[in-house]
Chains A and B, each alone.
Chain A
Amino acid sequence: MRFKKLLIVVLATSFGLVQSLIAQEVSFSLVRTLEADFNFPTDLCGNDRGDVFVLDGMNDRVVQLKTSGEVVEIRPQRESIYKAVGIAWINGDLWIADTPRSRLLKMEMNGRISQIVKLDHQTEPVDVADMGDNMVVTDRLNHTITVLDKDFKEKYYWGKRGEKVGEFINPGFLASGPENRILIGDILNRRVVSFSPSGRYPQIIAKPGVEKGQIFRPKGIALDSQKRIWVADGYTGALQAFSISGKYLGIATSEGKSLALSAPMGVFIDKQDRLWVVESFASKVSVWRIK
């Protein structure tokens, strides 16, 4: 019996290895690129109508890319979002992680800042995402994840600086994943980890490395219609897909070659399964159709 069990383990391991070896190359085709005088943009998000909002913090603005093709500049009124990093569309509102000023901003389409949420602990929010009635924020200073309730009060937080599972070294972009999990790019631990909404039961989805199926600088995270978790690698420029269980599902390719984007950061997948990605170093946004 012990032999059988060992055999099963060996076979399962081999199957996993084989699976990873034969992971598909997911073909991408470039839809378009947008430059719009960006200056090291960092993140983007989309609303239900198909508009995409690019956070162009160095230019102290948000650029709205309408479905009509119109490009609209939204400048904050009486406030600044200079050097802000993260942006998210949450429950019908545009939220900005105003990183250097320790706050979250709700911005109207005319630029008016209708809500300012000051964060405690000198939090430097990198990204913000919805989590049911709550919002979840990554903090580059304290290396923690903070959950705010519906009144924007700190509800709880988890994590600390460290390499162990459940710890972070510079948590960055995040996304709401399947099965009510929260997906977090743990940048300098070079991994993507999922958590339960309470911050428990961490599971590593993408492990460190510079080979296919591994991640070196996890940046933007987004889910496509097939619930594949796409992760942008800020160094290799690759876009790779993982399952919520951590299975490597493939790498984005174009014309037979792996994509090597220019310092990709925020990623957003719209309802048409088009992947929008900020190529920060090139100060542009590229849009890819996932075939």
Chain B
Amino acid sequence: MGGGVIRKQSQRLADQMMNTSKRLIVVFAILCLMGAFAQGQHNPDGRKVSLDCVTCHVTWHDNIDPQKSLLPKMDAPIQIQGMPARIATAAMCFTCHDGTVKDSRQTFASSNHQMDMDVKHANIKDLPLDKNGKIYCGTCHTPHSLKPTRNGGLAPFLRMEKMNSAICLDCHSNQAKSHKNHPIKVKVSPDNTMAENTFWGKDGTMECMTCHPIHGTESVVGVTGNDRSELCSSCHEAYFNIKLTDHDLTSSLMNKSSDIGPDFGGHDPCAACHVSHGGQAEHMWAMEIDPKAGENGYCIGCHSDNGLGQEKTFSHAGHPVSKIKLRKNIPALGIKAGDKLLCKSCHDPHQWEFSNKHAVNVSNEEGTEYTSFLRLPDDAQGQLCVACHAGQSSMFNSDHSVAREGFQQLFRESNTLNGQCTVCHGAHTDALDGSTEDDPYTVLCMRCHDGQHFATSVVHNNHPIGVPFESKSNLHGYNKDSQTLLSCNTCHDPHKWGQTVEKSQTVDLKGDDRNSFLTISNWPEPKLCLDCHPEQGTILNSDHDLTEEDRSACSLCHAPHNAETEYGILAKWGDAPGASFNEKHCFSCHSEQGSASAKLVEGYSHPREFGILTPPARGTGDWLDFPLFTEAGPSMTVGHIDCFTCHNPHSWSYKTKFQELGSENEEGNDLTSFLRNPSQLTLCTDCHGESTLWKYNYYHDPVKRKRY
């Protein structure tokens, strides 16, 4: 029994122990399970995360025993928008990017965007910084971005797009403002010589990373010092024609200094005028400019009295700028309709000579019409000027072409070489000398037409100049004392020869009323003459209208230059008979050999021994009422009777209604016959009394007029 009890007790004890052990085991198992469950990982929000997460988010390991922890003690290693965040540090990134998983050691070694870099010069917006407010890997990168291979993926695991520079601009927006910084998002010429591995944006646009390697030892691609020449020339090769010109300040001002800002101490010809970022003005301009000067300020900044280019100061006397808006596109000069005419319209500051034909090897060379940073040369075709002033190009086939021997002779004599336009016009100086009292147009024309040089001489008996005039077409002249005075340019436009009779470019042309650089055509009607002398238009269709195929009604009798007489600029009459200028002039036609042989003037001479007072001298009227002459020409005081005393060759009748002739030549009478006045208005009665009418009517009949 006892044994049985003991067994039972033992059994019970054993059973109790067993029950206790089972309980313990169950409890232990539960604890183990709980412990095992508790060994999972949770993020700060309590959400269970996978093992992948703690690959980087090391602090998300649950239940880290502080006594055993090997984690570096870092409180809130990262800030996101200023708020602390316990996410991976750069040290974490390096544990994989040390070459064992990926090799980003070059990035870690780079001086660009290196860790611990201050961001004080950048205006960071959304990107996270480390605990000290400095950039670290995670500032730009996150492993949570889409894989680069996926649609919308941001290689290499960037927080923002790099193809459009978005990630750069988040911090550096101030370095992308247009004009003062090098532009981005612009198409680049496929002819660029950038390295093959150059970063381009979508559609080949230039972006920040095109020039700036994000991770590297250079802040700018291929630039280790201050000389950006090689990089700039990769896309702007044409601008490097500037080298060794006066605008290459590293060459032309090598030994000079300036306090206006440009850096011309190095070897980068760009740096003197341009900075890539933070320019003082548009065009990434390195120097301060006068904002009032507008676009020309870039030039005037140097080409002023105190500027670097003071040897070539800008003058307002030359071609006007700024105030002119161009009305059409001028592709040859890169000008669009509506653009203002500026310095740069004619000048390309990067190129000493058009097409760079003229290799410059020494700076400070005096410019010519072919150089001088002109976009086009002012050559014999006046390319530069004609680009805008196309209407003046007809001059090239005229005697005013510099290709003609006359100009060539001038160039030889003066040892100069002018272009088609600058031979007369100064781009930056006033071609017309306004410093003297003389008519500047005449001064300019007489440089060649002075009788001593190669051009047609116009020094004798010319149409009067320097006199006021009234013109129906408002012809030009020169202004003096608020008056417009007649000058060469009143009748002549030196750019337009007119209708040519000769197309040759080498043979000097003989001018007539159809050409001769006349401002208004003088043929077949003498419109130019009549523009100022409309009262003489009555000659038209009269017997004195001797218009021919190359001559107007005026030109038979009048020569505006080198005339026989100063008064009336009467044309030369050769060997015509007559005692006076007037008689010779009239008898050149009204003679047996003349064209008006049907109207010979048999008797005409009035005794000249009697001096007759002119109407003005008498105080009875105008000189033209009864013009008198001396041997020297018209007299305002005392003279004798001559052809034009009685006849006005421009008007068939002094009465308007008889001025027009019929188709057939009419026989004249005392109302017509080109008589100036009716007999009663002449002064003849003063001497001839009642016989006046007889003598007047038969003045040219030597027999009849002697009856009284």
Contacts and interface: CB of A to CB of B under 8 A. Distances in A.
Nearest to B106: A58
A235 B71 CA distance: 8
Contacts of B28: 10
Contact of B99 (A99, A212, A237): A99
A221 B297 CA distance: 70
Given A58-B106, A163-B51, A3 B95 contact: no
Interface stretch (B60-68, B374-382, B473-481, B532-540): B60-68
Given A58-B109, A188-B55, A210-B58, A236 B71 contact: yes
A40 B69 contact: no
Contacts of A260: 70, 72
B98 A234 contact: yes
B25 interface: yes
Interface in B366-420: none
Interface string A35-71: 0000110100000000000000110000000000000
B356 to A, nearest CB: 42
Contacts of A100: 103
B70 A263 contact: no
Nearest to B22: A3
Contacts of A99: 99, 103
B91 interface: yes
Interface in B30-74: 51, 55, 58, 61, 64-65, 68-72
Contacts of B99: 40, 42, 57, 83, 85, 99, 126
Nearest to A190: B55
Contacts of B92: 235
A167 interface: no
A210 B64 contact: yes
A1 interface: no
Contacts of A281: 91, 94, 98, 108
A274 interface: no
A187 interface: yes
Interface in A114-142: 126, 140
Given A126-B99, A235-B92, A238-B70, A40 B108 contact: yes
Interface in A234-273: 234-238, 251, 258, 260, 263, 265
Interface in B83-100: 91-92, 94-96, 98-100
A213 B69 CA distance: 10
Nearest to A3: B21
Contacts of B55: 188, 190
A16 interface: no
Given A188-B55, A210-B58, A235-B58, A265 B71 contact: no
A45 to B, nearest CB: 16
A267 to B, nearest CB: 13
A187 B101 contact: yes
A151 interface: no
A55 to B, nearest CB: 10
B101 A170 contact: yes
A258 to B, nearest CB: 7
A216 interface: yes
A166 interface: no
Contact of B61 (A6, A163, A188, A209): A209
Given A3-B18, A210-B58, A236 B70 contact: yes
A211 interface: yes
A258 B64 CA distance: 17
A263 B94 contact: yes
Nearest to A59: B109
Size band of the A side of the interface?
A: 35 or more
A188 B56 CA distance: 10
B599 interface: no
B64 A234 contact: no
Interface in A159-199: 163, 170, 172-173, 187-188, 190
A280 interface: yes
A140 B102 CA distance: 8
A233 B70 contact: yes
Given A235-B58, A281-B91, A173 B106 contact: no
A217 interface: yes
B70 A83 contact: no
B92 to A, nearest CB: 6
A219 interface: yes
B608 interface: no
B100 A172 contact: yes
Interface in B225-259: none
B69 to A, nearest CB: 6
Q: Which of A188, A238, A265 has the most CB of B within 10 A?
A: A188
Nearest to B14: A3
Given A3-B18, A234-B95, A263-B91, A210 B71 contact: yes
B105 interface: yes
A217 B69 contact: no
Contacts of A173: 100
Contact of B68 (A10, A188, A211): A211
Interface string A2-45: 01001000100000000000000000000000000001101000
Interface string A84-110: 010000000000000110000000000
A262 B94 CA distance: 10
Identify the interface centre among B70, B96, B98: most chain A CB within 10 Å of its CB.
Answer: B70
A216 B65 CA distance: 15
A95 B611 CA distance: 134
Contacts of A235: 58, 91-92, 95
A237 B72 CA distance: 9
A39 B55 CA distance: 26
B68 A212 contact: yes
Contact of B98 (A39, A216, A237, A263): A263
28 contacts: A40-B98, A40-B105, A42-B100, A58-B109, A83-B105, A85-B103, A140-B100, A172-B100, A187-B100, A188-B96, A208-B51, A210-B61, A210-B69, A210-B71, A211-B69, A212-B68, A234-B94, A234-B95, A234-B100, A235-B91, A235-B95, A236-B71, A237-B70, A237-B72, A238-B70, A265-B100, A281-B91, A281-B98
Please give me the 5 A-B residue pairs with the lowest Cβ-Cβ distance, nearest first: A211-B68, A236-B70, A85-B99, A40-B105, A172-B100
